[in-house]
Structure 1
Amino acid sequence: MEGTVAYTRRIASWAALLTCVGACPSEDIGVSSATEGGSGTTDSALPGTGASEGVPTTTNSGVSGSGGDNLTGWETTGADDPVGPCATDPLCDIPPEEHEPTNKPDGLPSPLPGVYDDLGPAPLDNGFRSLMGFPNRQRELLEERVAAMYDPDSPSFRDYLTVDEWMADHAPRTKDVDIVKAWLKSRGFTINYEAKNRLLVHFSGSVKDFNETFDTELHICMRKNPLHSGDPFPVYCTLESFTLPIFVAERTHGLATADLPAETGTLTKEVGDVVEDYPGDDAHGPPAFYGAYNMNKLFADGYDGTGSAIGVVGAGTYHTIDLQIFWKSFGIERELPTRVALMEPVFERITETSLDTQWSSSLGPGADVFVYEGPDARNTALLFAWNEAIGDNKADVVTTSFAHREDAEAKTLRHQYDESALMGAAIGMTLLSASGDSANPDTPCSSPYVTCVGGTNLVATPTGVISSERAWSMSGSGNSKSFAPPYWQEADVDSETRAMCDLALSSSPENPMWMRRWKKWEAYGGTSFASPAFAGMVAVVNSYRKAHGKPRVGYLNPVIYLHGPTRATFRDITKGATPYHSAGVGWDYPTGLGAPDIAALAATIP
């Protein structure tokens, strides 16, 4: 009965939407850029993300071209084509009272012992780069549509939105984005990049102008490097809150990031020959995963990822010759990935990007691979790359291993990752994140629209014959501080927030994985292997589905939790523990539903 009520409510929402279609400009259907309800939060709510917030702003906002009663008095020939003095100045019809500053959460970290160490105020003549984040429009309706499209009993099951449909109904309004961009330019900032889906605007300028505009003071913090063997690096942080003019605050989530300018340099030329150089049996290679997670049957039947595509969120780029040697040494033949340049030019090769590319491409050897390359591993580049990998819609499955401890990152950043992920779910993408290696929750794993891949300690032969598999002691897991419990997890978790992980694969350094790094073999552990490996596995599942006339699997979480036959394809991991949680029968924090049987998953998932 409860499901019937929820479904009726969705129909009512869609009926209201359809009433407007044809009478309202496509960008003005329903609410304005402020969202309706949303996924909920345990922090003080961001505008449009908390279910307890008041009545949503309507489109009769008094902004020229916003639809409704044309309260400004200006004639229009379309939603974004005003006639009159405001035709060339988007700010000219903003009432004076809306220019007043109001407090607004931001996405910058604050000093945190052991993670962010404060070095004091940033020099005023320093530069910065930043992202302004926007929410999905009509978020409550979008979440209802997504719930229905992943419900096997719904008539709209797997009826994914096209990008054009999402843009028309749920992207931030062009008018709102233009107003915010005009305001940023009026403050002396430069607009550098705009996301394809309009959820992010990248701008830059001086620290002096930043401090004056946002009524704060940027500090420099040394950030502990979350990547293997990396040195600490400087980032901007703040001790004080931010303000924005009311008209900007109402249209945005606020500042999602602010970082030092991207470094510049020249990418060194690769040298060396592509040779077979098997590293030995002291660590797991891809064949161990093929066997341990039951992929060989699919390969034998011709399902190797062909027809599917993997998106890798990168920072810098990878070493192509190392990648080819990795493949050749494990008997993998495939095409090189497509590098997708984003933002400032890439000038360095980064371990994490190399690892993720090697393992995702090897576990889905027939799949196309797109590596979305931001200039570095700072939040500005990583969030933009994540968002563009989704907005580009060339990949069926997107993976990131640049996970950061959730309590170390500000809530605006966490919620902006979630805004992108919600779009991905709506258009039928599978979004994966490493759960992290601190035994604590990470972001973007905490988004309910992301499948959070934790870690196990796998003991197996080089061909994947399993001796044992238990929870890895440092598998990132726990309760989110950001998001309300999703409906698909309510039967498994007694928690006031989203709980992690959702599933788990081999990650322990006690039984590590190989990677080829800077002309030599090294063996590591970490969930950085688990997420890209599972991305390759999802590509293989999609290859099977395509051959059987089925759509890509998309947002996995509702189906793997709630569809009994699909859930049964996961091998329950009942032993092992982190310092905070133990594995056990059924769902548990360190390993979620368990380890996947990929052949069974491909044959069973509806």
Structure 2
Amino acid sequence: MRYSTLLVLTLGSLAAAAPRDCAQKLKEQVSPPRGWTKVKPASAEHNINLRIGLPQANFAQLEKHLYEISDPFNERYGDHLSKEEVEALIAPHDESIQLVEEWLASHGISADDLTRSPAKDWVTIKVPVSLAEKMLDTEYHVWLHDESGDTMVRTTSYSLPEHLHEHIEVVQPTTMFGRFKGMKATYHYADTERPSVDLSQPWIPIPSAYNGEVNASCNASITPTCLKELYNGVGYTPSATNANKIGITAYLGQYANFEDFHNFTAMFVPDAASSSFEVVYIDGGQNNQTLSAAGLEADLDTQYAFGLTYPTPGTFYTTGGMPPYIPDDDTPTDTNEPYANWLDYILSDPSPPQTISTSYGDNEQTVPESYAKRVCEDLAQLGARGVSLLFASGDFGVGDGDANPETQTCYTNNGLNETKFIPGFPASCPYVTSVGATWYIPEETYFISGGGFSNYFSRPDYQAVAVPEYLSKLAPGTYEGLYNPYGRGIPDVSAQGQWFWVYYAGQLGQIGGTSAATPTFSGFVSLLNDARLAKKLPPLGFLNPLIYAAGAFAPKAFNDIVGGSNPGCGTEGFNATIGWDPVTGFGTPNFYNLKDIVLGDMDLLIGGLSL
């Protein structure tokens, strides 16, 4: 709805007084974020889409269901919940709904002005800054991101009536300064990093690969064929294409170009040369087909995720909301949180893809902990419904986003200028699968691979053995104070992340990063889902309990990556070692070995049987 100053004043004077004590109490406060400069007060007429999160009444029960149906040793394995069952579990109490409605009505906002999530745990309203400041007892300003020039309208604190604190968990956009950037390592192109390729020896012996060898050209030239050879997936043809789907998410004006896709498939996946993919437009998202508008991130993700899984139907989600917001517009609207808009859509979808790959994220500390936990809980809902969610772990080792590991400062956002390792989010959410990166053949640790330990999320049960085992190998005092040894460790797995051929804006070039690794691993997950669905078995859903069981009991399910590290913050970072590590997780996939596991009712895991 649209407010004028007069209308807001009139509504405020006519609205009935709230039925409870309206004394405001501080709800959340953050220190001014590093790298952002406060420019000026926000315009009173600037529109904000406020998202109000109500407590999810029975999330603990949802989480219990999630872990039971994702545990390969549990008799409920694969017994996913329906959309309606999930929504019934996370619906807020009626009292919370009523009190929030009364509070909004006291500010002249009627039920007709609200947008609710299907479970009613989120309420969204469009209000001008002048009204948001009154409701939240705060002041919004325009903030400038010094490095990129992006601008946002945000505040560093907000308050709510004291009686609402237990009925409202979070309100955003307020204190969130995350930018949700793509994870593509465009700066790692140096020819000195390329391996020398001896083409007089046409095959590289790799015991775990298909037929025990990989074409030598793959050592500096990754294609879908190379990945299928390396990860033992040659010869598998999807057959459950009437049931199985794979999705790719895109934000910030990243458009997947069909001409680039067709050129790529014609060269590297000839069987898919005439194929295409569905585009879903969310909240004003676009997919401009002008070649100059093609997005490198979007082209990379679609060409590999859909190329590896052809003829599985692919869906490209393009979500509106891209910086920079222009603070001098007459009627500006701040749309800098596109990920929340995508979540709204996908949670409402009765039949989402069984595998969804996301190559975007940001430093965990840029997302307020309260909001990060609510987003993570939303992701858990998808896992409980049978969706496998995979996220890039990041391209800066243990560092803070500076491309040069030697100059990373890694300061915290708490105002104390402490140096700490910087994990990524949403990769740090315990209900998703985080993907790191390797390179070279035979595979080695790619030093950019984001990894470490969350400062928001505690270690989940599925990591109860693997993570302490890794930490026990560190010398006493190693990086003490730089990381949280009790936090959720990332990544969980990894895949190749450099020298990927990609068609972009009509030209053939190469790219890398965890943006390449994530759609690659996702592609193989989608093939595993296809194998299960073809046998009338449910999809895999939340992957991590299976991954950690396979990593412990069926070591040939993954290709373990040993040696190397992920430097940052003035350190060498963590080292990759035998078993799980916070650089490459359990390693890269062996498709046919994993396929035997997921089609065998997990018998191959029982009793510690190794493939």
Give me the TM-score of the superposition, normalised by structure 1: 0.72
| Matching of residues 415-434 of structure 1 within 5 Å | 415-434=373-392
Q: Tell me if structure 1 keeps the 8 A contact 2:49–2:127.
A: yes
Q: Tell me if structure 2 keeps the 8 A contact 1:134–1:199.
A: yes
Say which of 351, 360, 363 aligns to 2:308.
363
Aligned counterpart, 2:343: 386
**2:434 is aligned with what amino acid?**
C
Q: Distance in 1 between matches of 2:525 and 2:424?
A: 22
Residue 101 (structure 1) aligned with residue 24 (structure 2)? yes
Residue 249 (structure 1) aligned with residue 165 (structure 2)? yes
Aligned counterpart, 2:405: none
Cα 1:365–1:490 change in 2 (3 A) is: same
Q: Tell me if structure 2 keeps the 8 A contact 1:305–1:536.
A: no
Residue 410 (structure 1) aligned with residue 368 (structure 2)? yes
Structure 2 residue matching 1:436: 3-state secondary structure = coil
Q: Which moved more, 1:538-547 or 1:371-380?
A: 371-380
Structure 1 residue matching 2:383: 3-state secondary structure = helix
Aligned counterpart, 2:213: none
RMSD of equivalent CA atoms: 2.9
Say which of 357, 363, 368 aligns to 1:399.
357
Say which of 545, 556, 559 aligns to 2:546.
559
* 1:209-256 deviation per Cα after TM superposition (whole angstroms, max 9, x unaligned): 22222122222233478xxxxx542123333x2112345432332114
Cα 1:491–1:257 change in 2 (3 A) is: same
Q: Distance in 1 between matches of 2:259 and 2:19?
A: 58
Following superposition, the deviation at residue 556 of structure 1 comes to 0.6
Q: Distance in 1 between matches of 2:16 and 2:66?
A: 38
Say which of 317, 324, 328 aligns to 2:266.
328
Aligned counterpart, 1:70: none
Aligned counterpart, 1:571: 559
**1:112 is aligned with what amino acid?**
P
Structure 2 residue matching 1:480: 3-state secondary structure = strand
| Matching of residues 23-42 of structure 1 within 5 Å | none
Aligned counterpart, 2:457: 483
Residue 454 (structure 1) aligned with residue 436 (structure 2)? yes
* 1:123-146 deviation per Cα after TM superposition (whole angstroms, max 9, x unaligned): 333232332234433122222222
Following superposition, the deviation at residue 567 of structure 1 comes to 5.0
Say which of 28, 49, 52 aligns to 1:132.
52
Q: Which moved more, 1:117-126 or 1:323-332?
A: 117-126
Q: Distance in 2 between matches of 1:311 and 1:565?
A: 30
Q: Distance in 2 between matches of 1:200 and 1:371?
A: 25
Q: Distance in 1 between matches of 2:502 and 2:149?
A: 23
Q: Distance in 2 between matches of 1:308 and 1:200?
A: 29
Structure 1 residue matching 2:594: 3-state secondary structure = helix
Q: Which moved more, 1:389-398 or 1:160-169?
A: 389-398
Q: Distance in 1 between matches of 2:517 and 2:241?
A: 17
**1:359 is aligned with what amino acid?**
Y
Following superposition, the deviation at residue 297 of structure 1 comes to 3.2
Q: Tell me if structure 2 keeps the 8 A contact 1:332–1:362.
A: no
Aligned counterpart, 1:75: none
Say which of 574, 584, 588 aligns to 1:591.
584
Q: Distance in 2 between matches of 1:93 and 1:127?
A: 25
Aligned counterpart, 1:540: 527
Q: Tell me if structure 2 keeps the 8 A contact 1:150–1:158.
A: yes
Cα 1:534–1:351 change in 2 (3 A) is: same
Residue 445 (structure 1) aligned with residue 427 (structure 2)? yes
Give me the TM-score of the superposition, normalised by structure 2: 0.71
**1:473 is aligned with what amino acid?**
F
Following superposition, the deviation at residue 368 of structure 1 comes to 1.7
Stretches of structure 1 lacking an aligned partner (at least 5 in a row):
1-90, 226-230, 261-279, 460-466
| Matching of residues 490-501 of structure 1 within 5 Å | 490-494=464-468, 495-501=485-491
Q: Distance in 1 between matches of 2:39 and 2:227?
A: 44
Say which of 234, 244, 257 aligns to 1:319.
257
Say which of 56, 61, 81 aligns to 1:141.
61
* 1:150-205 deviation per Cα after TM superposition (whole angstroms, max 9, x unaligned): 23343322211111111223233577457546644653669575434444333322
Q: Distance in 1 between matches of 2:139 and 2:437?
A: 39
Q: Tell me if structure 1 keeps the 8 A contact 2:24–2:137.
A: no
Aligned counterpart, 1:339: 279
Moved over 6 A (4+): 91-94
Q: Distance in 1 between matches of 2:75 and 2:18?
A: 43
**1:572 is aligned with what amino acid?**
D
Q: Distance in 2 between matches of 1:451 and 1:177?
A: 33
Say which of 211, 226, 235 aligns to 1:297.
235
Cα 1:250–1:351 change in 2 (3 A) is: farther
Residue 219 (structure 1) aligned with residue 141 (structure 2)? yes
Following superposition, the deviation at residue 113 of structure 1 comes to 3.2
Say which of 199, 203, 225 aligns to 1:287.
225
* 1:278-300 deviation per Cα after TM superposition (whole angstroms, max 9, x unaligned): xx98632222212111211323x
Q: Distance in 1 between matches of 2:92 and 2:245?
A: 27
Aligned counterpart, 1:166: 86
Q: Which moved more, 1:589-598 or 1:419-428?
A: 419-428
Q: Tell me if structure 2 keeps the 8 A contact 1:305–1:541.
A: no
* 1:360-414 deviation per Cα after TM superposition (whole angstroms, max 9, x unaligned): 2112112222223221346521122134324423210122111111122221331
Larger RCO, structure (CA 8 Å, separation 6 or more): 2
Cα 1:505–1:347 change in 2 (3 A) is: closer
Q: Tell me if structure 2 keeps the 8 A contact 1:256–1:412.
A: no
| Matching of residues 77-92 of structure 1 within 5 Å | none
Structure 2 residue matching 1:141: 3-state secondary structure = helix
Residue 307 (structure 1) aligned with residue 233 (structure 2)? no
Q: Tell me if structure 2 keeps the 8 A contact 1:135–1:419.
A: no
* 1:531-568 deviation per Cα after TM superposition (whole angstroms, max 9, x unaligned): 12222211111111112221101111011102445554
Cα 1:575–1:351 change in 2 (3 A) is: same
Q: Distance in 1 between matches of 2:72 and 2:39?
A: 53
Following superposition, the deviation at residue 208 of structure 1 comes to 2.1
Q: Tell me if structure 2 keeps the 8 A contact 1:389–1:398.
A: no
Structure 1 residue matching 2:394: 3-state secondary structure = coil
Q: Tell me if structure 2 keeps the 8 A contact 1:111–1:221.
A: no
Q: Give the count of matched residue pairs.
A: 474
Q: Tell me if structure 2 keeps the 8 A contact 1:131–1:380.
A: no
Cα 1:126–1:379 change in 2 (3 A) is: closer
Aligned counterpart, 1:266: none
**1:119 is aligned with what amino acid?**
V
Q: Distance in 2 between matches of 1:305 and 1:371?
A: 17
Structure 1 residue matching 2:487: 3-state secondary structure = coil
**1:310 is aligned with what amino acid?**
I
